[in-house]
A and B are shown apart, each in its own frame.
Chain A
């Protein structure tokens, strides 16, 4: 039988292509509605994340390429949280140069030192609370001096 989640894992996040939409927690479920019709349930991340539009298009394109009729349903509740991101995805982010959000940090994350994804030092400083995309903020390592992105805890 076709493993739908495995298939959907081929859709990368448009802004951070090393992770996919399943391990990000955006895909909440997928099921066959009939022999060739598939319903994919997705939950939006940030209110204004522009990637959500292309994610939907990418899902539709992928399913059509696999001779399936796509139906994408947006589910608003429960709301998306970075806690749904898999450990594997967090590790991929770190290797890519983005410090991942830790599980269950919640609001306390603003006060927790962010580890440099390159040298691992916790001696870092915030450069800007807002970054190049809605999900990131900018930091710099005081030891290796490299600037880096932090994926905000949400």
Chain B
């Protein structure tokens, strides 16, 4: 499979699983406005993934559609980061996950907007407008949790301890990314990781949160290696298409 297709699938898979996971809050948010906010964000992710899958299907060109790519691949074929698979746990962890993901997306899309690939550039510009809303929203909550009560701060710190070592997986590379970078199609994931850490450091100072110094990051993402949570989320996601092949609305 070509490197451009793999990279497109990485973006599609990340947003699909992030959206699927976040949608678990639907109808269970702490209050109405937040319930709506989280499902709005989840819907944005699904829309972005739909666009990337469409593009990937076009690149593969064997008649498969975006739905085949989203619903009918097996576990090892998904190239998403382990980070997006992590469970929601409490509200602090959910929002911390969204915060980390949208800071990553913000930098990614800002850079991808300048891509020499017209489709990447258009999709990045479009998605960036949505991500800026997510960023403002999750930042508000980071501030609330960190400056709220001892309980809210300790929950945020616990969440940070749970998920920090997976954040690096967002920046793991698919096959031959180097080549795409040299062609001006994508930004360097290594450079993005450095840029991301300095953005987080700056924000954390504002939140009065201690920046985690631990350098260890979980390995294996973007190669089809997943956490133990992934099989379960995939089961739920694929259930309808596996049970009633080809079913449509």
Residues of B within 8 A of A127 (CB): 33
Chain A residues contacting B137 (CB-CB under 8 Å) are 129-130
**A106 — nearest CB in chain B belongs to which residue?**
B129
Residues in A with CB closer than 8 Å to B118 are: 77
Which listed segment binds A: B46-54, B77-85, B91-99?
Answer: B46-54
B50, B119, B129: which has the most chain A beta carbons within 10 Å?
B129
Question: Given A76-B122, A77-B118, A130-B137, is A48 in contact with B48 using a C-beta cutoff of 8 Å?
Answer: yes
Q: Out of A47, A107, A138, A154, name the residue touching B51 (CB < 8 Å).
A: A47
Q: Do A48 and B44 contact each other (CB < 8 Å), given the known contacts A107-B132, A129-B133, A129-B136?
A: yes
Please name the residue on chain B nearest to A110 by beta carbon. Answer: B136
List the B residue with the shortest CB-CB distance to A153. Answer: B129
B-side interface size class: 20 to 34
Interface of A is mostly: loop
- Kindly state whether residue B121 has any CB partner on chain A within 8 Å: yes
Q: Are A47 and B36 in contact (CB under 8 A)?
A: no
A48 to B45, CA, bound (A): 8
- A2 on the B face (CB < 8 A): no
User: Looking at A76, A107, A110, which has the most chain B CB atoms within 10 Å of its CB?
Assistant: A76
Interfacial chain B residues near A152, Cβ < 8 Å: 133
Bound CA–CA A76/B119 (angstroms): 7
Q: Is B40 within 8 A of A130, CB to CB? A: yes
Residue of A nearest to B126 (CB): A79
- Cα distance A76–B45 in the bound complex, in angstroms: 17
Nearest Cβ on chain B to A138's Cβ, whole angstroms: 7
Instruction: Tally inter-chain residue pairs, CB-CB below 8 A.
Output: 59
B-chain residues with CB within 8 Å of residue A154 when the two chains form the complex: 129
- Chain A 22-64 interface 0/1 with B at a Cβ cutoff of 8 Å (1 = within): 0000000000000000000000001111000000000000000
**A48 nearest CB neighbor, chain B only:** B47
| Chain B, range 1-59, C-beta contacts under 8 Å to A | 33, 36-37, 40-41, 43-48, 50-51
Chain B contacts of A67 at CB under 8 A?
none
Q: Does the CB pair B136–A79 fall under 8 Å?
A: no
If A79-B126, A107-B132, A154-B129 touch, does A47 touch B44 (CB 8 Å cutoff)? yes
Other A-B pairs beyond A48-B45, A107-B132, A130-B40, 19, CB < 8 Å:
A46-B44, A47-B48, A47-B50, A47-B123, A47-B126, A47-B127, A48-B44, A48-B50, A76-B119, A77-B121, A77-B122, A78-B122, A79-B126, A128-B33, A128-B36, A128-B37, A129-B37, A130-B33, A130-B137
Top 9 A-B pairs, shortest CB-CB distance: A48-B47, A47-B47, A128-B33, A130-B40, A77-B122, A130-B37, A76-B122, A48-B43, A79-B126
- A residues near B (Cβ < 8 Å) are 46-49, 76-80, 107, 110, 127-132, 134, 138, 152, 154
A-B contact pairs, 11 of them (CB 8 A): A47-B48, A47-B126, A48-B46, A48-B50, A49-B47, A80-B126, A110-B136, A130-B37, A130-B40, A130-B133, A130-B137
